[in-house]
Amino acid sequence: MGQSIAPEARLLASYVPVAAGPWLSEADQVFDAASIFDYIDGAGEVYRSYNMKLLVARRFHKDGKPDIVVDAFEMGSSADAFGVFTHDLEGEDAGIGQGSAYKAGLLSFWKDRYFLSVYTEEETAETKALVLDLGRTIGGAIPAEGAKPGLLKLLPPEGLKAGRVRYFHNYSVLNYHFFVAASDILMLGQTAKAVLADYAESGDRSRLLIVEYAGPGEAARAGASFARAYMPDAGGKAAVRTENGKWTVVRIRGRYAAIVFDDASAGKAASRLDAVEALMGGIR
């Protein structure tokens, strides 16, 4: 367990109240990207994949009642705070921070460069209310808001399913949301930025993946790798009909790769990629 109270940790801890109603807090635990395994074992990899900097964990206790735990993460950037929030979007929007989800005793939300998990070991009406109160208090204490990843601006709005947008860096997280391949055929990594979004139109569901690489060379190499591994039967074309009868279409432009998976129509998939390309003009 890391216990050094760096100024960043003190600042983060200052956003979290010392009491939650009659629940009193215990001593904080502070972890960084190296020591997080001491706290949550291998699950720490999820937060490391989003470049976490610090975690302040504060437990609230009241005899005879379920504990409440606040895990407050400093992610280093608002993009990664948003990203780690999108890793698990299960639940109802609680209207807290810049995006939130509440389900079964767990509130998660993001604001500025921070990601917060407020959790009760047993959901009761009382603990649910405390969890939400704590979240509102913490969200209110964080003074600033942060920007969402710029890559989201490339998502065409038509057919986009709200609440089904994930932002991430590496292929393990991509596979968590949508299994593509057992190895990193898209050459993702901590320097790549990726967004995966669900689209639904007329009952048809498809996915759009956009990756921003460090440069055009990296994007071109990733595109070639993807074509080789995923669509060897495409004959050099950018579209292929897969075994489920749906279409996968890929396009490389500059430092970006955009891929539509599982579209019922090759034409619709290409149109969506046209829309992505048009939006690229706005952020160059």
Partner 1 sequence: MSIRTITRRDFLKVASAAPLAGALRPGLKAGPAAAEGNVRVVLVRDENALDASGAPNPEAIQRMLDDGVRALLGERDIVKAWKSLIKAGDTVGIKTNAWGKLPTPGEVEQAIKRRVMDAGVPEDKLSVDDRGVLRNPIFQNATALINARPARTHQWSGMGSCIKNYIQFVPRPSAYHDDTCADLATIWNLPPVKGKTRLNVLVMLTPLFHMIGTQQYNKDFTWGYKGLIVSRDPVAADATGLRVLEAKRRDYFKDDGLLKPTPHHIQLADTRHHLGVSDPARIELVKLGWSEGILI
Q: List residues near partner 1 by CB under 8 A.
A: 37, 40-47, 69, 71, 88, 90, 103-106, 108, 117, 119, 121-123, 172, 175-183, 185, 229-230, 242-244
Q: Which is nearer to partner 1, 263 or 280 (CB)?
A: 263
Among residues 38, 76, 72, the alpha carbon closest in space to that of 55 is found at: 72
CA-to-CA distance for 116 and 276, rounded, in angstroms?
32
Q: Which long-range contacts (CB under 8 A, 24 or more apart) does 155-162 make?
A: 155/195, 155/197, 155/208, 155/210, 155/276, 155/279, 156/208, 156/272, 156/275, 156/276, 156/279, 158/201, 158/275, 159/199, 159/200, 159/201, 159/272, 160/197, 160/198, 160/199, 161/197, 161/198, 161/199, 161/200
The CB-of-185 to partner 1 minimum distance in angstroms stands at: 6
The CB-of-241 to partner 1 minimum distance in angstroms stands at: 11
The CB-of-150 to partner 1 minimum distance in angstroms stands at: 27
The CB-of-181 to partner 1 minimum distance in angstroms stands at: 4
Q: Which is nearer to partner 1, 52 or 155 (CB)?
A: 52
Q: Which is nearer to partner 1, 69 or 151 (CB)?
A: 69
Q: Which is nearer to partner 1, 63 or 233 (CB)?
A: 233
The CB-of-44 to partner 1 minimum distance in angstroms stands at: 8
Q: Which is nearer to partner 1, 7 or 235 (CB)?
A: 235
Instruction: Name every residue whose Cβ is closer than 8 Å to that of residue 277 and which is 6 or more positions away in sequence.
Output: 251, 253, 258
CA-to-CA distance for 266 and 241, rounded, in angstroms?
8
